[in-house]
Structure 1
Amino acid sequence: MILSRGKCGLSMCTTRYLVAMAAADLLTIITEVILYRVNIYYFPMNFLFITPVCSVVYVLVRQARDCSVWFTVTFTFDRFVAICCQKLKTKYCSAKIAATVLGTTSMLLFSKNIPFYFTLHSSVTIDNVPWGCEDKPSYYTESAWVGFDWFDTALIPLLPFTLILSFNALTVKHILVSSRIRKGLKGKSKSENRSDPEMESRRKSVILLFTLSGSFIVMWMADVLEFLYYTIARIDPNNYTNSELVFNQVGTMLQNLNCCTNTFIYVVTQSKFREHLKSMAKYPVNAVIKIRNK
């Protein structure tokens, strides 16, 4: 809500990416954490466990998660263009292009996730009603599904890992070179401490960019390691030992945690966001005080 108001000192382009990322993170918490995890542990055997219903929920979980990941990638690329490609910046870094990129990304990811509906089967049938959702054994053995699993993992998160690291490396290199050039042109010695608004603006953008992308890389590392483990060892995740299952669940927990940390990252890196957040928190208290005074 704070970001969507556009009063945090950020461009409309950046604001749209951040709002999209926040929305995707919120949808991940709703679908993955509330409808799936919390539902399993605290509300067993409700209508959400009917196989067709939980299959749809699983697709929504994948969609929200994938959007959260790829919106981070698109934001990283947008900042790379804004900082490193001045000629392309005027055409690409606009609110209209941001909306187009986000919408196209969402549609493509949804098309990719539809097959997941058909990877699940029921655990038990009661009164001709299928209940539960489990991975079909063929998902880990049939060549078509194995290829699809590789494609899915390459798309989430191996390719995002590579792209984010590459864009960040190029951005850092460009900023270091630009900083040296600007200091040289201004005749700025090491002993001087004059501020440079342009470099200060870039520094804030880089802090936000690196914090978001760095958090993503750290939180998804366990998931990548688990994929490499069961692929190289040719182990069916349905037959995991207790220790393997714990590692799998830790990876899932870190994925979900990544969707929660972005909000705190906004608070830490954006001073105007912090101000608006404080105002929003104080508003109910001030409203009650005004009512009492009347």
Structure 2
Amino acid sequence: MAMADLLVIITDVLLRTVFVVYFPRSFLNITPVCSTNVVLAFAATLSSDWFTVAFTLDRFLAICYQNVKIKYCTERTATVIMGIVSVFSCLISVPWYFTMGPEYNMDNIPRGCVLKQAFLNLTSWASFELLTYSLIAWFPFFLLMLLNSLTARHILMSGRVRRGLRGRNTGDNDPEMENRRKSVVLLFCISGSFLLLWSTEVIYVLSERVFGIPYVKGSDFESVGFMLQVLSTCTNTVIYVLTQNKFREQMKSAVRCPIYLIVKLLKTRNAS
């Protein structure tokens, strides 16, 4: 997930936006290269979202089905799923290359990327765009909400059984129950953040395709939707990873290590 999120930042933010805006004469702004960046950006975004779904499914199986966990929640299974998701994301994103046309010509070289007018008018291409955004936003959100709801339900039910076995008076001071309550909050934070951050972009696409509102390139609504959409690709990874105790300990060690080396170097220099 972290690698897919990093690719989104590289392809969708740096190569597709920053370099094109601030370095308009660079080779990245040539239409074929720019169109390739569009394909890579969609592929990276799809991979990021579906890696999050796959990770959520893995957590669901590990928490709710202990027998399945031993058989399927393995490194080999994770590798196969990541490979399938990556290949599928690339294949479904390839048609976007043919929807892009040059924005202008400079020295007889086509530059920039804009949606072709034929793409905007064809019903088939509009359906493809809706399918793409369904795979990127709507289906992942539905699956995240479903899996996280089932996981939260299992945690709450097992918590009730645990309180019954331990007695009502000890439930309030039970560290395990506190961890389970935090897990429920975490799961719904993930689903809620995904919905909120993708809602602007989804509304923009629906207003354009379904309700026929004219396409306006570079509008504030589009810019805000793009910003929130890019932000959504990294929030789930941050939420999942930073809440893991082992990762926090490794992060602390990574921060302390250079400080320790600098202090040791200064002490050695002062002693000499």
Choose which of 191, 210, 224 in structure 1 pairs with 2:202. Answer: 224
Distance, in Å, in 2 between the alignment partners of 1:78 and 1:113 is: 25
Distance, in Å, in 1 between the alignment partners of 2:171 and 2:106 is: 77
How has the CA–CA distance of structure 1 residues 63 and 210 changed in structure 2, closer, same or farther, with 3 Å as cutoff? same
Residue matched to 1:79: 59
Distance, in Å, in 2 between the alignment partners of 1:175 and 1:222 is: 32
1:100 positional shift: 0.9
Residue matched to 1:5: none
Distance, in Å, in 2 between the alignment partners of 1:266 and 1:145 is: 36
Distance, in Å, in 2 between the alignment partners of 1:85 and 1:276 is: 29
Q: Whose relative contact order is higher, 1 or 2, with alpha carbons under 8 Å and at least 6 apart?
A: 1
RMSD: 2.3
Cα deviation code 1:75-113 (max 9, x no counterpart):
111111122233322222111111111111111111100
Distance, in Å, in 2 between the alignment partners of 1:45 and 1:75 is: 41
Residue matched to 2:75: 95
Distance, in Å, in 2 between the alignment partners of 1:200 and 1:193 is: 8
Distance, in Å, in 1 between the alignment partners of 2:77 and 2:13 is: 32
Cα deviation code 1:42-97 (max 9, x no counterpart):
22221101011111111111111111111111111111112223332222211111
Matched, 1:280 2:259: no
Distance, in Å, in 2 between the alignment partners of 1:216 and 1:267 is: 16
Structure 2 residue identity aligned to 1:276: Q
Matched, 1:269 2:248: no
Q: Which range moved further: 263-272 or 76-85?
A: 263-272
Residue matched to 2:93: 113
How has the CA–CA distance of structure 1 residues 266 and 160 changed in structure 2, closer, same or farther, with 3 Å as cutoff? closer
- Which stretches in structure 2 are left out of the alignment for 5+ residues? none
Distance, in Å, in 2 between the alignment partners of 1:132 and 1:109 is: 24
Choose which of 252, 267, 271 in structure 2 pairs with 1:293. Answer: 267
Is the 2:52–2:237 contact (alpha carbons within 8 Å) kept by the matching residues of 1?
Answer: no
SS at 2:105 equivalent: strand
Is the 1:59–1:117 contact (alpha carbons within 8 Å) kept by the matching residues of 2?
Answer: yes
Distance, in Å, in 2 between the alignment partners of 1:193 and 1:146 is: 54
For normalisation by structure 1, the TM-score amounts to: 0.82
1:225 positional shift: 1.6
For normalisation by structure 2, the TM-score amounts to: 0.88
How has the CA–CA distance of structure 1 residues 235 and 114 changed in structure 2, closer, same or farther, with 3 Å as cutoff? same
Matched residue pairs, number? 268
Residue matched to 1:174: 154
Is the 2:99–2:116 contact (alpha carbons within 8 Å) kept by the matching residues of 1?
Answer: yes
Alignment of 1:2-41 (within 5 A): 21-41=1-21
1:207 positional shift: 5.1
Distance, in Å, in 1 between the alignment partners of 2:170 and 2:64 is: 28
Is the 1:140–1:236 contact (alpha carbons within 8 Å) kept by the matching residues of 2?
Answer: no
Cα deviation code 1:26-51 (max 9, x no counterpart):
11111111112211332222110101
Choose which of 46, 50, 73 in structure 1 pairs with 2:30. Answer: 50
Is the 1:25–1:65 contact (alpha carbons within 8 Å) kept by the matching residues of 2?
Answer: yes
What is the aligned-residue identity percentage? 43
